[in-house]
Structure 1
């Protein structure tokens, strides 16, 4: 019976979750055993006919999950049970050579790397799709002036498309970061009990190189009985950073969907209900889900960091929790990406509301440009700042339009004509380098994600 919402199908895509299902975990482990046997036979460490037999039986499907579980119930060791089940189906010539020179964590760490390899292929594809969507939105709204907010206050004019461009740039950084972490996290190990390759002698490193190449992994440079947990911690840290960026986007969507701002809305399908009690509610539930899951994912990084310091050549204090944090961190990030793709692809942008919000401060959002105009006329910066500030604060308290208050102040009109003041209140003139920035980001995105489509 499903316990966790991941198991019940609520979160995570089928394709990613299948990588961590018990049957697939067994297949990864058996493929590793097959590759090791083939490499050992190639190098003369075990008889060639034994290598052929082990590889054939490991890939035959004859090692059944049910049998492995039966053996594990007695042995209380999952890898030992898998090895015994493989021995059972092999011919006599191969039985002595199954798992030769290996230890259980050669299997476990290499199998984990295989899972990460396949999961990252799916995660990267979704990251690229999202990044393309963000770049396309950035270009779509690059010429739309909007309120730029700092500290929750109106600050100055921003291109609405620039929001998406910043997010696209952040995601592009993460795509490159995933590529970097692959070389350190996607490693296999065949060096035995304490990392010396003992029973395989000088050829142990050669076995590892052959196996790594066949599994599309890298051979670990050095290890104890386990691959250093810094590698997994870095991997989960990278996933966590991606999750934080997705949450950053989600928080902005949630804020922009607030009734008081109302510049965007998440897609809302026919028949959907936002509230069981209030029929008019259109809650940003996908963005809220992303924020919620991000908290969970960040907590897993703490566990991964705690796993780095093990006793001597290893202990078992990392094992149980990694059975949770590795699949869960990947599955949860997959859910976040799927949700964000849905949000951005279907996002309703209310351009009329964006424009009306520009005027909600009665023109005070243009204060930066008034200050600049006075400075350009030769006024001392501090004096100009003080004058603009006093006029703005007074206008706000009296409910007067900022533009009118400026025209009524002799200190301003001594330097600026009414026409010059009016010209400062054209939002479209204040997008500065926005188009150039956005187009530059889009160009970078297309160069990296050119093999993808947003459809």
Structure 2
């Protein structure tokens, strides 16, 4: 197994999402570095900071240049980042007057951080689409199974009757919140990094802020009040969001594993997968297991990202590199978890009859709370509870239905109890409106379009 399974040709199908993975290839990374360098030259040319001829030559070269990745690797060993080596390859390909205008007034971290923001923006676009697909399916399941009766469980024990639609609505509501959080996060994350050597933009004298604003607009980003070379809170916010999405998907997957147990049998993953090499009767919940693995890994990586944010003065030491080791992996794992969840929900087999059988097999024990409230019409609350407690062992032993056992004990006192209301279907409380609220809130959030700036197409900048 490779050091990072997500990058493996074999294991990558489990632990990465193809579109997200493609965004973090070496070639894609270098293309974004070139994109930022080209955009910087373009805006500086328009602002009169460098000659227009130099700006045009740099922009054209960054759009067509094919770097030598081998030389970039050698530069990485020396400089820790590939930018210096990339600039070393670009300059000889430029007209002599333009060479000094390449990367003018910027520092390496400006280029790398801005390129990373561009990558995150593309990746989050994919994750948003997958998140919406998951949300759409959960909304469908919520409504389609609004009346599909099943046991509700607390502390892994049967508690009260619920419906599968309500369970699906419970999975849906955090998806809605994650969409809301993403919209807020994007406003803070999609910002240009441009501060120069020590965050003062001194090399550009009084034009530094003009360049920062123009560069941001060129790339469809915003310009923050101050450079963020060592202020990494938005990177941590991104990592926390990714972890939160994984946690919500992991909760769904954990529920699926429990519901699919042989003794429970209320759902099946579907698709015919998850077979055992030696036990042909089994269908293992492999998809749910992979979702949980991705969620658990992201939770561990979050701690590293949090620690990496403690950086020194105006330029940090190792924290930056920790982000490279963690954040792309977290984006990939979240993409994989979302894609697996979408496929899981698309092929899910809801065993409605088995759910009902499991309710019936409880012999009315899930009606204990409702029965207790109903008996207060004829008995004090404590006496009602005591009567039910005495009848529970008999129901557990299969000697009758809890409601009927209690009814027999009451005799004529039970004439004032509404026994017809004591069924699982009639003790679902606010289930229907709760489902409606969850679905309506999701659809309202779904229709709210992102507000972050979009980049002007490159042909309009030339």
Aligned to 2:367: 366
Which of the numbers 401, 414, 417 marks the counterpart of 1:416?
414
| Residues 255-264 or 74-83, more deviating | 74-83
Q: CA, structure 1 residues 125+227, in 2 after alignment: closer, same or farther (shift >3 Å)? A: farther
**C-alpha deviations, 1:148-188, integer Å up to 9, x for none?**
11111111111210011111111011011111111222221
| Superposed displacement of residue 326, structure 1 | 1.4
The equivalences for 1:257-296 within 5 A come to: 257-269=260-272, 272=273, 274-296=275-297
Which of the numbers 6, 16, 19 marks the counterpart of 1:12?
16
| Residues 187-196 or 18-27, more deviating | 187-196
Q: CA, structure 1 residues 398+59, in 2 after alignment: closer, same or farther (shift >3 Å)? A: closer
Q: CA, structure 1 residues 74+244, in 2 after alignment: closer, same or farther (shift >3 Å)? A: closer
Are 1:252 and 2:252 an aligned pair?
no
Contact 2:192/2:222 (8 A) holds in 1: yes
| Residues 427-436 or 19-28, more deviating | 427-436
Structure 1 stretches lacking a partner, 5+ long? none
**C-alpha deviations, 1:39-95, integer Å up to 9, x for none?**
112222222211111111111224443443355456554111112122121111110
SS at match of 2:65: coil
Contact 1:134/1:165 (8 A) holds in 2: yes
| Superposed displacement of residue 380, structure 1 | 2.5
**C-alpha deviations, 1:246-289, integer Å up to 9, x for none?**
000001000000111110000132xx451111010001110011
**C-alpha deviations, 1:11-41, integer Å up to 9, x for none?**
2122111111011101101110111111112
Which of the numbers 119, 134, 153 marks the counterpart of 2:157?
153
Q: CA, structure 1 residues 223+53, in 2 after alignment: closer, same or farther (shift >3 Å)? A: same
Are 1:170 and 2:168 an aligned pair?
no
Q: CA, structure 1 residues 264+398, in 2 after alignment: closer, same or farther (shift >3 Å)? A: closer
**C-alpha deviations, 1:133-162, integer Å up to 9, x for none?**
000000000012221111111111112100
Aligned to 2:314: 313
Contact 2:106/2:197 (8 A) holds in 1: yes
What is the distance in 2 between the residues matched to 1:367 and 1:137? 28
Aligned to 1:402: 402
**C-alpha deviations, 1:406-426, integer Å up to 9, x for none?**
12213xx343239833x1442
Which of the numbers 430, 437, 453 marks the counterpart of 1:440?
437
What is the distance in 1 between the residues matched to 2:238 and 2:148? 38
Aligned length: 445
**C-alpha deviations, 1:368-408, integer Å up to 9, x for none?**
11111112x15322332222222223442564331331122
Structure 2 stretches lacking a partner, 5+ long? 450-462
| Residues 62-71 or 36-45, more deviating | 62-71
Aligned to 1:122: 126
**Superposition CA RMSD, Å:** 2.1
Contact 2:243/2:298 (8 A) holds in 1: yes
Which of the numbers 178, 198, 209 marks the counterpart of 1:194?
198
| Superposed displacement of residue 3, structure 1 | 4.4
